């Protein structure tokens, strides 16, 4: 764990510019100009809700939004996702599987360096993945690397990932932000960084200041001298800070307030379509949801358009009970719509001619979740389903009974179809909240994930998707947009599909324009 | 006698604090979920929970944790924060000062202003200015602190004017007093909450005193009016007002939580909310003990003021 003297140690490095940058305060400019062309220099102050004394700067155990912001900016991975959720190379020039996808070979980018000027070597990559997969202290990404047998340095710039079973999706796992590359003498309290920024100072739950890492390999960005991540306990204080120009950009604003903030001529709204979903989860192994007709009926009572309108204030896309909307092999099934007579008929066939009563466990785990429960309760009433909403706090929700509720909710960020199945729809899945455990389905997914070319596994994926679409335990009514707000003088923020705020937290592309 | 009263009160206070610590510890045990789950949130896999519990020392039974904490207290060790992994005292030291400054600023402004306005109101009893003051103080007293805070933010920081900062922002490690302009709105909120009570109490007791026989006697004897008021009337009215001031100051210690939340002020209140959310028991206990201690000390001080301003009690002491 951390030492008592971290703050003092880091505080010694505090320079005057950070203080000046953060205190640039008070008066608003009222300018309606755009940020213009990229300008070098300046500090971006980004506000984020959440954060507490347990906040971390460790590359491999991010939990909340601020942790993720730090991880993405301080550490670079071998691969990452583009703004439209395609895999792109980062520290690895290439990452290729062998014929049966049992060995993947990464080639490290020529001249890639850490923030202290040392070369990034294969040994560092090996160390990073051993650290993630440490059996005594598994890190956040460990669940996606259970088949990773060994990581071996095989050349001056090459690393082999040897697997215990074929896996064609390893590039997806390696593109997750939780797999940052750290040096083999990594000290998480005083980190040497591989990302576009390096750490200047960190006060958990309050603020983090990062400065440009001049050794970072990507040369088309890096405009900011410094970026500060500032934690807020609630979104009101966050919005007030933006309106009084104490911060330059804020991550994730309440969707109901988008219009109000957008009406301010000093502000821009960043509206990103994402694959983030807030499903209802029905346990397929427990009554009443063990009867597939009940699950089908529940899916038919949802008025998806109304959900988007009321829960997301219109900032979302309609879902079709199918996750992974940005996958290359996303299916084209007929859009499911509200059909109360059919739902009633299905319920009657399942033995509930007079409707039934269910308890729905909800918690404020993500904005919109509790609202979705309330709207669902209203819609379901039309089909004679009496939904009793049980609202608990987030800690209770994720407590002992998490993944055990008969009927509850959850949220997921953008993932491709197959990795999502591995996370939530198989016997081995760490988050199998619907308790979906179908041997046929598992076989298809296991076969499909051994294939690294997405076109070759299209038919297998469709088979699995059809099964979930017909019989699955999720009600996926929509995908929420990620909406952020920023001052007009901030440039370089573009819509990003990952579901992470402020362009996927890629602050190396951001600049402070002339005002 | 005087020392004996205080000594007895201090011993009693120690027992009160002990009881508070037991209740708070028990209450945190009743909260659903534990620290490891709260910290890891959705990513709580059994392996990671086990690893974190090991690191945090949460595998020990509850009573053992309580007594090791209590033992540490006697040697000035507030224990270890499960969330930060560092000592509680380090986590809180800067926050204690931040909260103290906010409370002290509010008290230093509201007590003299409240007493002054109360006296002024009483002297102009029934007049238009008295009625205006009474009306305003009643309206303010009826409003909760967060309403006042939000209104101030809307007026001075966001919607109407943009002349004052809406929240408190400082680079890591910087104390809050480096940026006095950020203290204005939170302090003003607390002042507007606390002052009306003092005004109303001061006005009421002052009117009573002004009507009493000894003031009439002094006036009849031809003592100048300013001397009548400041030498004879005001000191008499202060005794009861000290009790109200004490209650208000004690309220500040707890009420500051909401105001700190609203202004993102890095004080004890914010730390308390975080600690409860993340089941950081030792931090919750340390802050509860501090708040309870403030209550005890402030009430003791009020009693002392009461004794000092009452000649009968003073000479007895």
ipTM: 0.72
On whether the CB atoms of residues A209 and A200 are closer than 8 A, the answer is yes
- Please state the rounded mean pLDDT for residues B61-72: 81
Shared domain check, B222 and B140: yes
Q: What dihedral do alpha carbons A235, A241, A244, A246 form, nearest 10°?
A: -160
Determine the Cα–Cα distance for residues A311 and A481; give it in Å rounded to an integer. Answer: 12
pLDDT at A443: 94
Provide the chain B residues 116-155 that lie in CB contact (below 8 A) with chain A: 150, 153
**pLDDT 10s digits, B127-162:** 999 999 999 999 998 888 889 999 999 999 888 888
For A66-99, the pLDDT digits (tens) are 999 999 999 999 999 999 999 999 999 999 999 8
The answer to whether the CB of A238 falls within 8 A of the CB of A47 is yes
- Residues A362-387 have pLDDT tens digits of 998 888 899 999 999 999 999 999 99
pLDDT score, position A148: 94
Percent of chain A with pLDDT over 90: 76
Element (H, E) at A91: none
Clarify whether residues B185 and B68 are in a common domain: no
pLDDT tens digits, residue range A153-183?
999 999 999 999 999 999 999 999 999 999 9
Contact A10 B173 (CB under 8 A): yes
B34–chain A nearest CA distance, Å: 8
CB proximity under 8 Å: A 410-439 to B: 410, 430-431
Q: Do A202 and B174 make contact, defined as CB atoms within 8 angstroms?
A: no
- Torsional class of B179: left (φ above 0), alpha (ψ -120 to 50), beta (otherwise): beta
Distances in Å between the alpha carbon of B204 and those of A358, B47, B194, B208? 59, 65, 16, 6
Of the given ranges (A139-148, A476-485, B4-13, B180-189), which has the lowest mean pLDDT?
A: B4-13
Neighbouring residues of A236: CB distance < 8 A, sequence distance ≥ 6: B150, B262
User: Is the minimum CB–CB distance between B160 and chain A shorter than 8 Å?
Assistant: no
Residue B163 sits at the chain A interface (C-beta within 8 Å): yes
Q: Which of A4-8, A404-408, B278-282 has the lowest mean pLDDT?
A: A4-8
Per-residue pLDDT band for B314 (boundaries 50, 70, 90) equals: low
User: Among A7-16, A113-122, A124-133, A143-152, which stretch is predicted with the lowest mean pLDDT?
Assistant: A7-16
Instruction: Report in angstroms the alpha-carbon separations of B299 from B252, B260, B294, B306.
Output: 13, 24, 8, 10
Q: Chain B residue with minimal CA distance to A243? A: B158
Contacts of B275 in chain A (CB under 8 A): 53
pLDDT band at A470 (very low <50, low <70, confident <90, very high): very high
Cα dist from A150 to A159, A160, A246, whole Å: 10, 8, 48
Q: Is the pLDDT of residue A406 over 90?
A: yes
| Residue A9 confidence (pLDDT) above 60 | no
> Which neighbouring-strand residues pair with A232?
A49
Q: Exposed e or buried b for every residue in A357-384, given b needs 16+ CB within 10 A?
A: ebebbbbebbbbbbbbbebbbebbeebb
Q: Which one of A23, A27, A240 has the shortest CB-CB distance to B166?
A: A240
- Residue B255 predicted with pLDDT over 80: no
Same domain? For B257 and B301 the reply is yes
Q: Which two tokens mark A89?
A: 């190379």
Q: Which DSSP helix (H) or strand (E) runs through A491?
A: strand A490-491
On the question of pLDDT at A186 being above 50, the answer is yes
Average pLDDT over residues B286-295: 85
Q: Which two tokens stand for residue A448?
A: 């499909």
Q: Record the tokens describing residue B150, joined without a space.
A: 């939000």
Which A residues 127-186 touch B at CB under 8 Å?
A: 136-138, 140, 142-143
pLDDT of residue B21 exceeding 90: no
Q: What is the predicted pLDDT for the residue at B301?
A: 82
Examine the pLDDT at A48 and tell me if it is beyond 60. yes
Nearby residues of B1 by Cβ (< 8 Å), 6 or more positions away: B316, B317
Nearest to B99, CA basis, from B298, B291, B233, B308 = B291
- Say what the pLDDT of residue A503 is: 95
Claim to verify: residue B174 and residue B70 sit in the same structural domain: no
Please identify, among B42, B75, B108, the residue that sits at the C-terminal boundary of a domain.
Answer: B75
- Compute the nearest-CA separation of B256 from chain A (Å): 15
Residues B109 and B219 in one domain: yes
Q: Tell me the residues of chain B between 52 and 111 that have a Cβ less than 8 Å away from chain A.
A: 55, 81, 83-87, 90-91
| A262-268, long-range: CB < 8 A, 24+ apart | A262/A485, A265/A30, A265/A32, A266/A28, A266/A29, A266/A30, A266/A31, A266/A32, A266/A487, A266/A488, A267/A242, A267/A485, A267/A486, A267/A487, A267/A488, A268/A485, A268/A486, A268/A487, A268/A488, A268/A490, A268/A493
Is 90 exceeded by the pLDDT of residue B42? no
Q: How many domains does chain B have?
A: 2
Name chain B contacts of A237, Cβ cutoff 8 Å.
166-167, 261-264
Same domain as B143, residue B61:
no
Which single residue is written with the structure tokens 């066939």?
A349
Residue A420: the pLDDT is: 94
Average of pLDDT values for B306-310?
75
pLDDT value at position A22? 36
Instruction: Provide the phi-psi class of B157: left if phi over 0, else alpha when psi is between -120 and 50, else beta.
Output: alpha
Taking residues B23-48, what's their average pLDDT? 73
DSSP A173-238: HHTSGGG----TT--TTS----SSEEEEEEETTTEEEEEE-TT-S--S----SEEEEEEESSHHHH
Give yes or no: residues B153 and B201 share one domain.
Answer: yes
Interface of B with A in 23-52 (CB under 8 A): 31-34, 37-45, 47-48, 51
Of B239, B241, B213, B243, nearest in space to B228 by CA: B213
pLDDT(A337) > 50: yes
Tell me the C-alpha distance between A50 and A230, whole Å.
Answer: 10
pLDDT attached to residue A488: 93
When pLDDT is cut at 50, 70 and 90, the band that residue B256 belongs to is: confident
Domains observed in chain A:
31-75+195-273+482-514 (3.40.190.10), 76-186 (3.90.76.10), 280-479 (3.10.105.10)
Q: Kindly identify which residue of chain B lies nearest to residue A61, measuring between CA atoms.
A: B40
Most confident of A119-123, A253-257, B163-167, B212-216: A119-123
Please report the pLDDT score of residue A11 as a whole number: 34
Q: How far apart are CA A339 and CA A336, in angstroms?
A: 9
Bridge partner residues of A280 (DSSP): A409, A475
Shortest distance, CA B69 to any CA of chain A (angstroms): 18
Assigned domain for B192 exists = yes
Which chain A residue's Cα is nearest to B180? A23
Position A15 pLDDT exceeds 80: no
Interface of A with B in 323-382 (CB under 8 A): 365
Give the Cα separation of A322 and A333 in Å (integer): 9
What is the arithmetic mean of pLDDT over A255-270? 90
Give contacts of B271 with chain A, Cβ < 8 Å: 53
| Residue B83 maps to a domain | no
Among B43, B91, B270, beta carbon nearest to A63: B43
Q: Is residue B13 part of a domain?
A: yes
In the predicted structure, residue A224 carries a pLDDT above the cut 90: yes
Average pLDDT for chain A = 89
- Chain A: give the shortest CA distance to residue B291, in Å: 20
Q: Given an 8 Å threshold on Cβ–Cβ distance, is B277 in contact with A14?
A: no
> Same domain, yes or no, for B148 and B71?
no
The shortest C-alpha distance from B32 to chain A (Å) reads: 6
- pLDDT score for B313: 67
Question: How far is it, in rounded angstroms, from Cα A370 to Cα B237?
Answer: 53
φ/ψ of A249, rounded to 5, equals: -150, 145
B194 and B67 share one domain = no
Residues ≥6 apart with Cβ < 8 Å to B317: B1, B2, B5, B307
A203: which residues sit within 8 A by CB, 6+ positions away? Answer: A7, B172, B173
Q: Is the dihedral of CA B87, B93, B98, B99 positive or negative?
A: positive
User: Does a structural domain hold residue B80?
Assistant: no
Scanning B124-167, the segments in alpha helix (DSSP H) are: 128-142, 145-156
Residue B170 lies in a domain: yes
A244 at the B interface (CB within 8 A)?
yes
CA-CA distance, A233 to B233, in Å (whole number)? 48
Least confident range from A135-139, A241-245, B148-152, B174-178: namely B174-178
Give the per-residue pLDDT at B162: 84
What is the reported pLDDT for B26?
A: 83
Task: Please indicate, yes or no, whether residues B232 and B298 belong to a single structural domain of this protein.
Answer: yes
Residue B290 DSSP class: H
Instruction: Answer yes or no: do B67 and B166 share one domain.
Output: no
Give whole-number Cα distances, A160 to A96, A126, A457, in Å.
10, 9, 24
Alpha helices in A425-494 (DSSP H): 439-449, 458-471
CA dist., res. A85 & res. A77, Å (int): 15
Instruction: Please report which helix (H) or strand (E) contains residue A94, including its range.
Output: strand A92-97
Is it the case that residue A33 has pLDDT exceeding 60?
no
Neighbours of A341 (CB within 10 A): 9
Under 8 Å between Cβ of A279 and A476? yes
Confidence of residue B203 (pLDDT cuts 50, 70, 90): very high
Average of per-residue pLDDT across A227-247: 90
Position A32 confidence tier, pLDDT thresholds 50, 70, 90: very low
Select from B75, B97, B127 the last residue of a domain.
B75
Q: Which two tokens stand for residue B154?
A: 């809307």
Let me know if A229 is exposed, middle or buried by CB neighbors in 10 A (0-12, 13-18, 19+).
Answer: buried
Instruction: Of A39-53, A379-393, B1-15, give the lowest mean pLDDT range.
Output: B1-15
Closest-CA residue of chain B to A16:
B171
Give me the phi and psi of A385, to 5 degrees please. -90, 120
Rg (C-alpha) for chain A, rounded Å, is 24
> What residues make up the domain containing B236?
88-314
pLDDT > 70 fraction of chain A, expressed in percent and rounded: 93
Where is the domain boundary, B44, B75, B106? B75
Give the pLDDT of residue B32.
Answer: 67
Cβ–Cβ < 8 Å for A260, B159: no
Q: What pTM was computed for the model?
A: 0.81
User: From the CA atom positions of chain B, what is the Rg in Å?
Assistant: 24
- Residue B99 and residue B210 in one domain: yes
């Amino acid at each position: 764990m951390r030492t008592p003297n971290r703050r003092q140690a880091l505080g010694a490095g505090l320079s005057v510019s950070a203080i000046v940058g953060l205190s640039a305060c008070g008066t608003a400019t009222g300018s309606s100009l755009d940020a213009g062309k990229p300008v070098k220099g300046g500090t971006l102050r980004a506000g984020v809700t959440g954060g507490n004394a347990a906040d971390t700067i460790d590359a491999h155990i991010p939990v909340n939004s601020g942790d993720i912001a730090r991880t993405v900016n301080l550490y670079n991975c071998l691969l990452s996702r583009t703004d439209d959720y395609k895999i792109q190379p980062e520290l690895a020039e290439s990452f290729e599987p062998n014929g049966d996808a049992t060995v993947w070979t990464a080639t490290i980018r020529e001249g890639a360096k850490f923030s202290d000027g040392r070369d990034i070597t294969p040994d560092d990559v090996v160390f990073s993945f051993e650290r993630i997969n440490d059996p005594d202290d598994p890190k956040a990404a460990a669940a996606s690397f259970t088949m990773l047998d060994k990581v071996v340095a095989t050349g001056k710039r090459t690393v082999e990932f040897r697997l215990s079973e074929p896996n064609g999706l390893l590039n997806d796992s390696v593109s997750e932000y939780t797999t940052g590359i750290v040096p083999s003498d990594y000290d998480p309290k005083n980190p040497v960084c591989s990302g576009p920024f390096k750490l200047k100072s960190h006060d958990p739950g309050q603020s983090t200041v990062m400065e440009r890492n001049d050794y970072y390999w990507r040369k088309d960005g890096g405009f900011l001298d410094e970026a500060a991540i500032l934690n807020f306990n609630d979104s009101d204080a966050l919005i007030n800070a933006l309106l009084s120009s104490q911060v330059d950009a804020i991550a994730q604003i309440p969707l109901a307030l988008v219009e109000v903030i957008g009406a301010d001529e000093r502000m821009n709204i960043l509206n990103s379509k994402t694959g983030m979903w807030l499903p209802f989860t029905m346990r397929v192994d427990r009554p009443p949801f063990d009867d597939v007709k009940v699950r089908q009926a529940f899916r038919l009572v949802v008025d998806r358009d109304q959900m988007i309108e009321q829960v997301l204030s219109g900032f979302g896309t309609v879902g079709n009970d199918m996750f992974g909307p940005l996958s290359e092999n996303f299916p084209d099934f007929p859009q499911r719509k509200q059909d109360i007579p059919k739902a009633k008929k299905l319920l009657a066939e399942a033995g509930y001619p007079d409707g039934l009563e269910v308890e729905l466990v909800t918690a404020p785990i993500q904005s919109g979740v509790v609202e979705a429960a309330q709207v669902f309760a209203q819609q379901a009433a039309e089909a004679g389903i009496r939904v009793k909403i049980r609202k608990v706090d987030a800690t209770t929700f994720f407590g002992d009974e998490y993944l055990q509720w008969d009927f509850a909710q959850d949220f997921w960020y953008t993932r491709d179809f197959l990795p999502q199945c591995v996370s939530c729809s198989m016997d081995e899945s760490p988050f199998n909240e619907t308790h979906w455990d179908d041997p046929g389905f598992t076989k298809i997914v296991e076969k499909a994930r051994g294939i690294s070319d997405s076109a070759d596994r299209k038919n297998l994926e469709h088979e699995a998707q059809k099964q979930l679409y017909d019989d699955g335990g999720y009600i996926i009514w929509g995908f929420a947009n990620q909406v952020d707000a920023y001052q007009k003088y901030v440039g370089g923020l573009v819509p990003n599909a990952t579901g992470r705020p402020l362009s996927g937290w890629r602050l190396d592309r951001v600049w402070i324009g002339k005002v | 006698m005087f020392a004996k009263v205080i000594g007895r009160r201090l011993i009693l206070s120690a027992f009160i604090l002990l009881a508070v610590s037991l209740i708070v510890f028990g209450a945190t045990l009743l909260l659903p979920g534990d620290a490891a789950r709260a910290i890891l949130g959705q990513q709580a896999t059994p392996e990671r929970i086990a690893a974190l519990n090991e690191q945090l020392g949460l595998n020990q039974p509850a009573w053992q944790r309580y007594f090791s904490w209590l033992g540490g207290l006697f040697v000035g060790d507030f224990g270890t924060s499960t969330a930060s992994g560092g000592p509680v005292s380090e986590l809180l030291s800067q926050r204690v000062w931040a909260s103290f400054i906010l409370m002290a600023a509010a008290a230093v402004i509201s007590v003299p202003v409240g007493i002054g306005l109360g006296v002024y109101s009483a002297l102009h009893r029934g007049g238009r200015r008295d009625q205006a003051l009474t009306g305003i103080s009643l309206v303010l007293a009826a409003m909760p602190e967060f309403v006042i805070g939000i209104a101030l933010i809307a007026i001075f920081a966001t919607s109407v004017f943009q002349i004052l900062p809406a929240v408190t922002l400082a680079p890591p490690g910087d104390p809050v007093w480096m940026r006095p302009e950020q203290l204005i709105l939170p302090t003003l909120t607390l002042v507007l909450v606390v002052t009306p009570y003092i005004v109303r109490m001061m006005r009421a007791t002052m009117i009573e005193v002004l009507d009493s026989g000894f003031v009439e006697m002094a006036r009849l004897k031809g003592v100048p009016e300013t001397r009548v008021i400041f030498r004879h009337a005001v000191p008499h009215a202060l005794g009861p007002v000290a009790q109200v001031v004490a209650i208000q100051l004690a309220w500040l210690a707890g009420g500051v939580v909401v105001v700190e939340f609203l202004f993102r002020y890095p004080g004890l209140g914010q730390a308390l909310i975080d600690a409860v959310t993340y089941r950081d028991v030792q931090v919750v206990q340390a802050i509860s003990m501090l708040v309870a201690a403030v209550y005890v000390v402030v009430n003791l001080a009020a009693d002392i003021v009461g004794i000092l301003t009452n000649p009968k009690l003073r000479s007895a002491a």
